[in-house]
Structure 1
């Protein structure tokens, strides 16, 4: 809930157009349609300022709300709401009527705004989220190679802990180049791997087809390319975190949290002071249990899964690492409440 204002603006945003409405306290309103191109966004900002709007409200529609928000945030108070939290009146529905309804809601302060971090935090989030997507892409290529090898009867993953390590790549490269097993084994020099020489020889007796060799070659090239990109992203993330080393040190002091996970946590949370307490943060991350209450009876279900999926994912992964890792206070707490 927000205080009532005298003039407010509502935006119904689409991919190529924006329906805007200015609603006044006397019940009158003005509407206009703008393009989502740069000149349209500039005209929208000027229109909002000319009409002396005190507040602008828009729905979070995919990524289409970001350009208008960025264009307006320096000129007026801008709020973004989840469409699920807006209840529309029954009857005829048009883009213009939707904009008028949003403007009226904004005028009366009858909405629950989503948290939109400052621009620098949004840009840092883009870095960490893209980094995670690249890691997932690399994993997909590795899984594809695993699948082809297993399907061809090459059980290399049962002998080597990491087939994409130095020795594993030597074996895979030798296989796709059609080298004899003896020649492949002759390229291995790690004493720990040489102890498994007989097991490796039995594991790589399968046969790869021409197309399977091609797919593995392409996947290895893709992994090499993605690895270079990941390294560049990590370097840039590290430079960004250098501005706030204290926060990174605090986050990484928790067992199971390293540089990469810590970067995601800091990027997703932003300013920790936006939350009134720990429970608010847990709820925002979607880790709070669902509550069902009826006739005086209360039941708790699974976690809500609302909020930042990126934060929720890394926190769950960290909890799993702690639960399966070396003994520490957090693991003892987990074992006690399990």
Structure 2
């Protein structure tokens, strides 16, 4: 075993009876201070033996790396046995060169943990973990379904059926109806046009008729049918995920047991519309309001019930786990980078982006396109100066701060619009000019127009 560096001899241990675990796909390695490293296989029976070994040695707290999904079951088994389990980011334990074996890794984790040099990762409770699993599966199905939409579009284009050029979404009601009829053998453009929505027939009938006059091929129809069936399959998978989210929400809120709770949830009206990929969950807004004790995240710009559900699945309902808004935005990967050494900046060190941070970034991108919201004006102003990447990150950080303040401190947000934001910016400019003029011995005079 490699001895610890000299600095450890001058540092005080913060924890006693500690253990470190290095987890792999086939084996786990356990390091207990003063004992030889033990290894166990990753079968459930071996996990129980590892748990019993730690308890027999009087271990009170354990640190383990967050390696893929290998840690999940072991973490739960150790936590249920009463141990204080710390899930840590693997990057925290790989700062010393030359220590790259499983045995040395678990010993190093144990040493760092005993001296209090590791930070605990966020692990959601069982309720949030279940909803997170369904929501992430749902997102995967949406991405895969989008891929098959592209396949349908490609198959149509290869037969020179130009639906995409005249209908905004070929997977909308009109597009799917046309594709289904084509696969069933219909080739008459007039009959295919009649399947479209009346607004399309009124405004684009002649274009749709031209677009539907294609050159059908056996291979093209086969590819179209494959993509269509795959798209329908993933729509069914998305619906199944929605049902599981519905059940989890109802169970979390005792929806079927308490009539008063059910009335409160169903009374939530006037929710923001969800434009894309809306989950088929009854009273989603009411369920979220009940979980968050009446604090409504949709009062914040850009957040709908769907994006709120996504954030809940990633961060849970108790944001006090991040003691300040700066801790929260840092965990999200939205804080400004601090990678300086001397006069040089390390721009290659890319910060990890959790899914919650990506959600805030996606909302920020849509806000920057908005012409009525103050945060959008802030983002556009920064985009003109520093570029799109920094603007999106800064806007996402502002939104994340508002979200944390709402959920932790209950601070309300009122959208005052772009004019109010521009007035504040002009006031700041005026103060800066006044200060600069005063320092240089000048005096600002308001511009007066003489007719």
Q: Which range, TM-score by smaller chain?
A: 0.7 to 0.9
Deviations 1:27-53 (A, max 9, x none): x22332212111111111111111111
Name the CA distance, whole Å, in 2 between partners of 1:189 and 1:117. Answer: 46
Q: 1:141 is matched with which residue? A: 148
- How far the C-alpha of 1:273 sits from its partner, in A, is 0.6
| Secondary structure of residue in 1 paired with 2:296 | helix
Does 2:359 correspond to 1:314?
yes
Q: Point out which structure has higher relative CO (alpha carbons under 8 A, 6+ apart).
A: 1
Is contact 1:5–1:54 with CA below 8 Å preserved after alignment? Answer: no
Q: Secondary structure of the equivalent of 2:124? A: coil
Change (3 A) 1:337 1:174: same
Counterpart in the other structure of 2:282: none
Q: Using the alignment, how far apart are the partners of 1:198 and 1:92 within structure 2?
A: 71
1:43 and 2:49 aligned: yes
> In the alignment, which residue of structure 2 is the partner of 1:4?
14
Q: What's the secondary structure of 2:328's corresponding residue? A: helix
Deviations 1:151-200 (A, max 9, x none): 43222111112222222122222333442334533643632122222101
**Residue 85 in structure 1 maps to residue 92 in structure 2:** yes
Q: For the Cα contact (< 8 Å) 1:291–1:298, is it kept in 2?
A: no
C-alpha separation between the residues in 1 aligned to 2:367 and 2:12? 41
> Judging changes above 3 Å, is the alpha-carbon distance between structure 1 residues 299 and 110 closer, same or farther for their aligned structure 2 residues?
closer
1:174 to 174, 181, 185: 181
Segments of 5+ residues of structure 2 without an aligned counterpart are 1-10, 254-287, 384-451
Deviations 1:100-119 (A, max 9, x none): 22222222222233222223
Question: Paired residue for 2:306?
Answer: 260
Query: Aligned to 2:334, which of 284, 287, 295?
Result: 287
Deviates more, 1:140-149 or 1:82-91: 82-91
Distance 1:238 1:327, change over 3 A: farther
Alignment partners' CA distance in 2, 1:318 and 1:2: 45
TM-score normalised per structure 1: 0.87
Cα distance change on mapping 1:258 and 1:30 into 2, 3 Å = same
- Aligned residue number for residue 245 of structure 1: 289
Select between 169-178 and 200-209 the one with higher mean Cα deviation.
169-178
Runs of 4+ in 1 over 4 A off after TM superposition: 88-93, 297-305
Distance 1:182 1:334 in 2: 46
Q: How many residues align?
A: 332
Q: Which runs of 5+ in 1 are unaligned?
A: none
CA contact (8 A) 2:128 2:313 kept: yes
Correspondent of 1:16 among 26, 36, 50: 26
| Residue 85 (structure 1) shift | 1.5
Q: Distance in 2 between matches of 1:267 and 1:2?
A: 38
SS of structure 2 residue aligned to 1:289: coil
Aligned residues: CA RMSD? 2.8
1:212 Cα deviation from its structure 2 partner: 2.3
Is the 8 Å Cα contact of residues 287 and 303 (structure 1) preserved in structure 2?
A: no
Q: Name the residue aligned to 2:324.
A: 277
The match for 1:130 is: 137
Aligned mates of 2:212, 2:347 — CA distance in 1? 48
Q: Which residue of 1 aligns with 2:373?
A: 328
Larger deviation: 264-273 or 282-291?
A: 282-291
Taking structure 2 as the reference length, what is the TM-score of the superposition?
A: 0.67
By how many angstroms is 1:21 displaced? 1.7
Aligned counterparts of 2:373 and 2:311: Cα–Cα separation in 1 = 21
Query: Structure 1 residue 301: deviation in Å?
Result: 6.3
Match of 1:219 in 2: 227
SS in 1 for 2:358: helix
